[in-house]
């Protein structure tokens, strides 16, 4: 079975400090990977997605960046955090099916990292 891990679970960082959040997936190969941010009481905002190693698509311009150094590893980074970067960060993956297969779009989420920037 497939599992997804995120760490750390919680993080408190000062403004201007760097950030590195890691996500790994087990039990599948060549998944699509996604980073979302969820502000308190709000919906999910897609930040980045990746369809393969080294392939990153950015959805929202900001001071965050993402990298995929290995097939099942996805990293979210920042050189200098802002107060507005506080939120709940979620990593998700989806399996790739052949064209038209229903489960192609299902996304499965990790446990999340709660980031507080002070």
**Which residues of the shown chain bind another protein in the complex (CB under 8 A)?**
32, 34, 41-44, 46, 49, 51, 57, 88, 90, 92, 94, 96, 99-100, 102-112, 114
Residue 36 CB, nearest approach to another protein (Å): 8
- Closest approach of Cβ 13 to another protein, in Å? 18
Closest contact distance (angstroms) between CB of 16 and another protein is: 26
- Min dist. Cβ of residue 15 to another protein (A): 23
Judged on CB neighbours under 10 Å (0-12, 13-18, 19+), 81 is: buried
* Identity of the residue, 78 or 94, whose beta carbon is nearer to another protein in the bound complex: 94
> Rg for the chain (alpha carbons), in Å?
14
Nearest to another protein of 11, 44 (CB atom) = 44
- If the CB atoms of residues 3 and 16 are measured against another protein, the closer one turns out to be 3
């Amino acid at each position: 079975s497939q599992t997804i891990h995120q760490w750390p679970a919680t993080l408190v960082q000062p403004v201007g400090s760097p950030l590195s959040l890691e996500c790994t997936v087990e039990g599948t190969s060549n998944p699509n990977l996604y980073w979302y941010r969820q502000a308190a009481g709000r919906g999910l905002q897609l930040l980045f997605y990746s369809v393969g190693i080294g392939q990153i698509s950015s959805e929202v311009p900001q001071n965050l960046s993402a990298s995929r150094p290995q097939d099942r590893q996805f990293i979210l980074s920042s050189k200098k955090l802002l107060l507005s970067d506080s939120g709940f960060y979620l990593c998700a993956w989806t399996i790739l099916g052949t064209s038209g297969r229903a489960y192609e779009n299902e996304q499965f989420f990790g446990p999340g990292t709660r980031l507080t920037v002070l």
